[in-house]
Amino acid sequence: MNKPDYDELIERLRGVADDYGGQLTEQAEADGYPLYHLDLPGPEGAPHFLLSAGIHGEEPGSTTGFLHWCERDLAKWLHIFHIEAFPCLNPWGFERGNRYDASGRDLNRCFREETPPPAVRMVREVTAGRRYAMAVDMHEDCDYYGFYVYERLEHGPNVAPALLQRIALEGPLSYGEEGDDPPIEQGLVHMPLPPGKSLIALAAGRPQWPLAFYLYHVADHVITVETPGRQPLDVRVRMQRAAAETALHFTQRRLGL
Ligand SMILES: [Zn+2]
């Protein structure tokens, strides 16, 4: 895709679903666009792995990276994992290069709302009662030249070291910028969990939840990846693909599959 085109995205994802015996299902509508969930069942009893992209419309590398990962890398995982995805959570913003939805809301702050926007409600409804071995939320940071990742775990092992080693083959890691809060150290956002505190307890103390905070309740392991918007799109797409691949390899090993 040269420029973000939601119809083309959905058409290509439908091709992916058809090729691999999965389903692309319309689950909601927002700002005049249908919202989709992609479901690619693996073997009976396979652990579920969740990817989400495009909640911020001005981060096209996340949705485009996800699409390219589907078309090039996905097939080999379907004998191991049950893959689920929300490929583009803010299509209105995606087509306009706008972070927010048509009402000016940052959807990635709405996951604790009682009457949330349709995309948020869809994620909560589809994932309710399910358990994911890992969830990867794909983002970009438009102001950065280097990649970084958020990973907060109550107990290890962390995927970040392997992930950052792999990403560095595609482009620069972020070494942080002045005023970063929390600081970024060699691509890792430094955000240690207070001793004895659970991720659920951490989330409970926050009035607004990004998707990651919601995912703490349904996934054993959650990461948020941020590709650098100041690099060319093809570099960011390769980084997103590499991040998904490393997360899957790591989870496969962690579960002894
Ligand atoms: Zn974002």
18-32, 63-77, 172-186: which range is least confident on average?
Answer: 172-186
Helix (H, G, I), strand (E, B) or coil at 239: helix
User: What's the pLDDT tens digit per position in 41-71?
Assistant: 999 999 999 999 999 999 999 999 999 999 9
Pick the CATH number of 6-254 from 3.90.25.10, 3.40.630.10, 3.30.70.940, 3.40.640.10: 3.40.630.10
Backbone φ and ψ of 230, nearest 5°: -90, 5
Average pLDDT across the chain, whole number: 96
| CA distance linking residue 197 with residue 228, whole number of Å | 31
Query: What pTM value is reported for the model?
Result: 0.97
Report, as an integer, the average pLDDT of 108-124: 98
| CA distance linking residue 92 with residue 72, whole number of Å | 26
Distance 248 CA to ligand 1 centre (A): 21
CB 246 within 8 A of CB 159: yes
Distance 55 CA to ligand 1 centre (A): 7
Q: What is the pLDDT of residue 156?
A: 80
Q: What is the pLDDT of residue 194?
A: 87
Distance 107 CA to ligand 1 centre (A): 10
Distance 59 CA to ligand 1 centre (A): 6
pLDDT band at 3 (very low <50, low <70, confident <90, very high): confident
Percent of the chain with pLDDT over 90: 91
CB 139 within 8 A of CB 62: yes
User: What's the pLDDT tens digit per position in 141-173?
Assistant: 999 999 999 999 988 889 999 999 999 999 999
Q: What is the pLDDT of residue 83?
A: 98
**Domain boundaries, given as residue ranges, for the chain:** 6-254
Q: How many CA atoms lie within 13 A of 122 on its CB side?
A: 23
Instruction: Label the pairing between strands 82-86 and 48-53.
Output: parallel
Percent of the chain with pLDDT over 70: 100
Q: Judge whether residue 1 has pLDDT over 80.
A: no
User: What's the pLDDT tens digit per position in 232-256?
Assistant: 999 999 999 999 999 999 999 999 9
Helix 160-167, helix 233-254: angle, nearest 10: 150
CA distances from 44 to 84, 107, 227, 251 (A): 15, 34, 34, 18
Q: What is the pLDDT of residue 188?
A: 95
Distance 137 CA to ligand 1 centre (A): 9
Distance 44 CA to ligand 1 centre (A): 34
| CA distance linking residue 127 with residue 217, whole number of Å | 10
DSSP 135: E
Distance 141 CA to ligand 1 centre (A): 6
Return the structure tokens found at 109.
Answer: 């702050």
